[in-house]
Amino acid sequence: MKMYSIEEYPLVDLRVDEHPDPVKELGRMYEVAKKELFPFLDMLPTLENPAGKFDFESSRKMELLQDSE
C-alpha cells in the first residue's frame, strides 16, 4: 500500500504481498507505522523545505529517539 500527498515520494509504503496472511499483516504494520513512522512525516524534506525540519528534542520527548548508553 502506497500513500502519496503533494510530494514526489510516497508518505507510506507498506508491503505485505509475500506474507501468508496479507490483510492481517497490513493491519499490524499500520499500527507499527502509526507509532514509529507517522510522527516523523512532518519532519521530512518537502518541495517547500528541502532540508526538512528534524527536531531532535521533540523526537526525544515523543520517545522516537533514544540516547546511546
Residue 7: what pLDDT?
Answer: 85
Predicted confidence band of residue 62 (pLDDT cuts 50, 70, 90): confident
Taking 70 as the threshold, does the pLDDT of residue 69 lie above it?
no
Q: What is the pTM of this model?
A: 0.65
**14-60, pLDDT tens digit by residue?**
999 999 999 999 999 999 999 888 888 888 888 888 888 887 787 77
**Three-class DSSP category at 62:** coil
Q: How far apart are CA 15 and CA 18, in angstroms?
A: 8
- What contacts 20, CB < 8 A, 6 or more positions away? none
Domain spans, the chain: 2-61
